[in-house]
Amino acid sequence: MRKSMIWAAVCAALLVPVAAAGFSPLLQWRQPVYIVAGFAGIVGFALMLLQPLLAGGYLPGLPALKGRRVHRWVGAGIVALVVLHVGGLWLTSPPDVVDALLLRSPTPFSVWGVLVMWLIFATAALAVLRKRLGMRPMTWRRAHTALAVLIVAGTGLHAVLIQGTMETLSKYALFALALGATVKVIWDLRIWAARRRASR
């Protein structure tokens, strides 16, 4: 029962913001490509709640080792969703995307979105090139953790600053949950590492 309740709560936290955006009246005036691009961003944002839960081994049936494997696949999915999000927006309004990429956009949410995009690409590059770069596990973990915090915080700011299809309450709730889960996992893993060192 407890396992089912945890999974139900996680699924609700992931799906409610996406479903709520689906009822936005703003969708009536949008092109299909723009809608797909927008929902790619929303789903990518929702998956950021799942990432720390997988990395920390908090989900029933997915212990830490198995959860981290799924974490890598979800991370790859987020990268693909970012590409789809930006590519779709490019197709609908190239000048706006160019202004955003060059940090010339007058809208703050565009700046946050671009910064997060590059942070996500940097995280993916570090994951792929980690062995070639000869990074120590602790160095990699610290870099990955720092990037994860910046990505979640930046994505949340990007989302809450947009007056768009996402419903306000569910958007803020998703931001709080994703950031809270990320901070909790970092705290728990720090404590676990400290205890392991103390036991040696």
pLDDT digits (tens, 9 = 90+) for 23-34: 999 898 889 999
DSSP, collapsed to helix, strand or coil, labels residue 63 as coil
pLDDT in tens, 95-111: 999 999 998 988 899 99
Per the structure, the count of domains in the chain is 1
Beta-carbon contacts of residue 166 (< 8 Å; ≥ 6 apart)? 17, 20, 21, 24, 42, 159
Q: What domain range is 109 assigned to?
A: 2-198
Looking at residue 196, its pLDDT comes to 54
Taking only Cα atoms into account, the Rg of the chain, rounded to an integer number of angstroms, comes to 18
Q: How far apart are CA 58 and CA 181, in angstroms?
A: 10
Angle at 186 between CA 185 and CA 188, to 5 degrees: 65
Looking at residue 124, its pLDDT comes to 95
Residue 46 gets which letter from DSSP? H
Low-confidence ranges of the chain (pLDDT < 70): 191-200
Query: In the numeric block, which tokens belong to residue 103?
Result: 């940090």
Residue 107 gets which letter from DSSP? S
pTM: 0.91
Burial class for 104, CB neighbours closer than 10 Å (0-12, 13-18, 19+): exposed
DSSP, collapsed to helix, strand or coil, labels residue 135 as coil
Looking at residue 10, its pLDDT comes to 95
